[in-house]
């Protein structure tokens, strides 16, 4: 291994040995414990220095020591046994070159409550008990902040921050963030437990003489906020419903009563004392709609009420002139039997009213008028509508003939005979029968009253009747029988409709005399015995019958005596066999 063994007696000492701190040159390098040193702070330079074995060492209470071995592998200061935990006493107790470090880390003059304090060391001249030596606002007696911390080190947190427990911290306190005790923030202008519970930032401003929301404005001076809590006015019905008191009514910390001007300014349609408008609204705010609008329930509103739109209570309209009578309203029919203006048109004498009478204009005051008349409850003398009867053909002359015909008034039935079915009408200025134009000037034989005088076929005009005028008909009387004009031949002596008399006259008035007379049965020839119409012939000649018996069997002339006794009347004299005895 070589030479250079500086102590050949001790096998642990040789050039290859590891140097130990033992006061020996273990590695034969020519030095004793040369690799070992003790490091401490040079307070002059505030830097670390390495001190060799035997050098002076020690800081603070350890000052005055020597560097020495600490076992065989390290060096130490001989006075480190004086070292202790740093306390606050003006000394460097832990021998690190620093005095009272950690006693007042926040430099607030108060020593850390975790440190032992002896006397009044300079570093914490105000004392100890700092419960948070990292924050210079935390120390015994410090102002308590509102920050979830014990700032005054009394083992209580945020005391006095929210005495009224409203969630807002006292405005006199510094509030940091949103600590638990006042999670809503700070700025509470009245944090008193007895009087401030309802006072805090953004609290409802009420009328109480206080700044409830902490904005430095009280009551009416904080108008916008106070209006939000203003109570409703005393009247809560109808148009007053929901009306809030104006902030001006908040005086001396209390609300005054809403008055008439208040309601008028806050509502639309407010009416004082009683309803004056019919509009489906409770205008006087008494809980009743449109009272007084239709007291008689006829759906027409009182004329003294104003109507807006078509309210239900008076759906038929307004202008009811008597709202206490259901039968009186603008839609009613005027009735002459009542004293009311039934239809509310300001006239009790309406035309065509119920139970009306027709009045006619009667200028001559004869009781009979003219025109179509007007049906009214009463006469109107000013306009001459006084007559209850019509039919005056001349209303300027008071005369019976101007309004009647044969006692019948205008419009009455009239007319006789062929004029029947007429009506009394005006014929100019007098009354007449409308059918008189049918009357004839003379009666005609037709079974009718042609002259309309009530008589029929009296002395009728027979001039148109032509009778026979020849022969015995030189003067034939004319008669009217049952409406038929007749020639009365019964009054003509010896007239025969058919010539039958052999008298030498023109009995049938045809202009011929005894023409065609050969009817033996009508002759004066003998027609008895053996003579009969079958065997006797006759002919009229110049008014005398000529008898021809030549065809009569067994005839014997009447001028001779019957000569044959044969039980026959041979001479046709109604005697048989006369002379035969």
In this predicted structure, what is the pLDDT of residue 543? 87
What's the CA dihedral at 124, 126, 130, 132 to 10 degrees? -70
Mean pLDDT, range 432-436, rounded to an integer: 93
Integer Cα distance of 106 and 116 in angstroms: 17
236 — pLDDT class (breaks 50, 70, 90) = very high
* Residue 66 located in a structural domain: yes
Q: What is the DSSP code (8-state) at residue 541?
A: E
Name, in order, each residue with C-beta under 8 angstroms of 498's C-beta and a sequence gap of 6 or more. 508
* Residue 399 located in a structural domain: yes
In this predicted structure, what is the pLDDT of residue 307? 93
What contacts 24+ positions apart, CB below 8 Å, involve 560-569?
568/529, 568/530, 569/528, 569/529, 569/530
Q: What is the DSSP code (8-state) at residue 318?
A: E
The answer on pLDDT for 11 being more than 90 is: no
- 343 and 292 inside one domain: yes
Q: DSSP for 407-449, please give it.
A: TEETTSEE--GGGTTEEEEEETTEEEETTGGG--SS-BSSSS-
pLDDT per position as a tens digit, 300-341: 999 999 999 999 999 999 999 999 999 999 999 999 999 999
% of the chain residues with pLDDT over 70: 99
Integer Cα distance of 173 and 4 in angstroms: 82
In this predicted structure, what is the pLDDT of residue 244? 94
Kindly report the average pLDDT of the chain as a whole number: 92
- 318 and 374 inside one domain: no
Mean pLDDT, range 446-450, rounded to an integer: 93
List the structure tokens of 225.
Answer: 């906020």
> Total structural domains in the chain?
4
Q: DSSP for 400-416, please give it.
A: GGGTEETTEETTSEE--
221 — pLDDT class (breaks 50, 70, 90) = very high
The answer on pLDDT for 435 being more than 80 is: yes
In this predicted structure, what is the pLDDT of residue 449? 93
Mean pLDDT, range 534-563, rounded to an integer: 86
- 323 and 382 inside one domain: no
* Residue 196 located in a structural domain: no
* Residue 176 located in a structural domain: no
578 — pLDDT class (breaks 50, 70, 90) = confident
Mean pLDDT, range 1-15, rounded to an integer: 86
The answer on pLDDT for 581 being more than 80 is: no
In this predicted structure, what is the pLDDT of residue 421? 94
From 408, 438, 468, the end of a domain falls on: 438
The answer on pLDDT for 280 being more than 90 is: yes
* Residue 499 located in a structural domain: no
369 — pLDDT class (breaks 50, 70, 90) = confident
562 — pLDDT class (breaks 50, 70, 90) = confident
Integer Cα distance of 523 and 347 in angstroms: 101
With residue 262 as reference, give the H or E element that holds it. Answer: helix 260-266
The answer on pLDDT for 559 being more than 80 is: no
* Residue 407 located in a structural domain: yes
The answer on pLDDT for 230 being more than 80 is: yes
Q: DSSP for 458-484, please give it.
A: SS-B-TT-----SGGGTT--EEEETTE
In this predicted structure, what is the pLDDT of residue 128? 93
From 438, 457, 484, the end of a domain falls on: 438
Helix, strand and coil percent figures for the chain, each rounded to 5: 10, 20, 70
In this predicted structure, what is the pLDDT of residue 391? 82
b/e code 421-448 from CB counts within 10 Å (16+ = b):
ebebbbeeebbbbbbbebbbeebbbbeb
- 433 and 375 inside one domain: yes
Which residues constitute the domain of residue 313?
278-355
In this predicted structure, what is the pLDDT of residue 330? 96
- 351 and 374 inside one domain: no
* Residue 524 located in a structural domain: yes
In this predicted structure, what is the pLDDT of residue 448? 94
The answer on pLDDT for 68 being more than 90 is: yes
Mean pLDDT, range 366-372, rounded to an integer: 88
Q: Is 499 exposed, middle or buried (0-12, 13-18, 19+ CB in 10 A)?
A: buried
407 — pLDDT class (breaks 50, 70, 90) = confident
Mean pLDDT, range 131-155, rounded to an integer: 94
- 374 and 431 inside one domain: yes
542 — pLDDT class (breaks 50, 70, 90) = confident
List the structure tokens of 299.
Answer: 């759906």
The residue ranking higher by pLDDT, 211 or 371, is 211
pLDDT per position as a tens digit, 480-536: 999 999 999 999 999 989 888 899 999 999 999 988 888 888 888 999 989 999 999
Q: Is 521 exposed, middle or buried (0-12, 13-18, 19+ CB in 10 A)?
A: exposed
- 522 and 578 inside one domain: yes
- 543 and 577 inside one domain: yes
395 — pLDDT class (breaks 50, 70, 90) = confident
* Residue 231 located in a structural domain: no
From 403, 419, 438, the end of a domain falls on: 438
- 351 and 283 inside one domain: yes
């Amino acid at each position: 291994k070589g030479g250079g063994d500086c102590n050949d007696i001790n096998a642990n000492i040789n050039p290859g040995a590891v140097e130990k701190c033992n006061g020996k040159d273990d590695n034969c390098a020519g030095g004793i414990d040369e690799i070992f040193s003790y490091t401490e702070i040079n307070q002059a330079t505030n830097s670390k220095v390495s001190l060799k074995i035997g050098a002076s060492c020690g800081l603070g209470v350890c000052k005055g020591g020597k560097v020495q071995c600490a076992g065989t592998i390290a060096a130490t200061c001989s006075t480190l046994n004086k070292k202790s935990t740093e306390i606050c006493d003006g000394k460097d107790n832990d021998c690190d070159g620093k005095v009272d470090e950690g006693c007042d880390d926040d430099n607030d003059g108060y020593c850390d409550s975790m440190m032992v304090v002896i006397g009044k060391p300079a570093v914490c001249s105000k004392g100890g008990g700092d419960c948070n030596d990292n924050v210079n606002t935390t120390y015994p007696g410090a102002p308590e902040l509102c920050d979830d911390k014990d700032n005054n080190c009394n083992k209580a947190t945020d005391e006095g921050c929210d005495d009224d427990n409203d969630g807002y911290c006292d405005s006199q306190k510094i509030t940091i963030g949103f600590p638990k005790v006042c999670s809503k923030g700070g700025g509470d202008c009245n944090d008193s437990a007895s009087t401030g519970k309802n006072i805090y930032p953004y609290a409802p401003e009420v009328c109480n003489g206080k700044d409830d929301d902490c904005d430095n404005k009280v009551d009416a001076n904080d108008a916008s906020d106070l209006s939000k809590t203003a109570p409703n006015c005393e009247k809560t019905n109808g148009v007053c419903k929901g009306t809030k008191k104006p902030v001006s009514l908040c005086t001396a910390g209390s609300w005054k009563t809403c008055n008439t001007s208040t309601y008028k300014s806050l509502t639309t349609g407010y009416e004082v004392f009683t309803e004056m408008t019919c509009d489906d609204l409770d205008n006087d705010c008494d809980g009743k709609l449109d009272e007084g609008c239709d007291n008689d329930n006829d759906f027409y509103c009182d004329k003294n009420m104003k109507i807006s739109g078509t309210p239900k209570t008076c759906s038929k309209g307004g202008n009811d002139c008597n709202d206490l009578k259901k039968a009186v309203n603008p839609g009613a029919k005027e009735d002459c039997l009542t004293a009311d203006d039934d239809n509310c048109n300001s006239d009790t004498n309406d035309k065509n009213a119920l139970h009306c009478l027709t009045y006619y204009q009667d200028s001559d005051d004869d009781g009979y008028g003219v025109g179509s008349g007007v049906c009214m409850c009463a006469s109107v003398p000013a306009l001459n509508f006084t007559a209850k009867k019509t039919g005056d053909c001349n209303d300027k002359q008071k005369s019976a003939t101007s309004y009647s015909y044969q006692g019948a008034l205008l419009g009455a039935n009239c007319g006789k005979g062929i004029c029947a079915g007429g009506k009394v009408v005006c014929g100019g200025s007098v009354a007449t029968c409308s059918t008189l134009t049918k009357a004839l000037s003379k009666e005609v034989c037709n079974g009718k009253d042609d002259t309309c005088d009530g008589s029929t076929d009296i002395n009728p005009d027979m001039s148109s009747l032509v009778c026979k005028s020849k022969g015995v008909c030189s003067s034939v009387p004319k008669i009217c029988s049952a409406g038929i004009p007749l020639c009365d031949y019964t009054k003509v002596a010896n007239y025969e409709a058919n010539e039958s008399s052999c008298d030498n006259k023109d009995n049938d008035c045809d202009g011929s005399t005894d023409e065609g007379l050969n009817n033996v049965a009508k002759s004066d020839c003998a027609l008895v015995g053996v003579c009969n119409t079958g065997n006797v012939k006759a002919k009229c000649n110049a008014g005398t019958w000529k008898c021809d018996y030549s065809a009569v069997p067994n005839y014997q002339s009447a001028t001779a005596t019957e000569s044959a006794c044969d039980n026959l009347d041979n001479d046709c004299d109604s005697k048989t066999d006369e002379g035969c005895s």
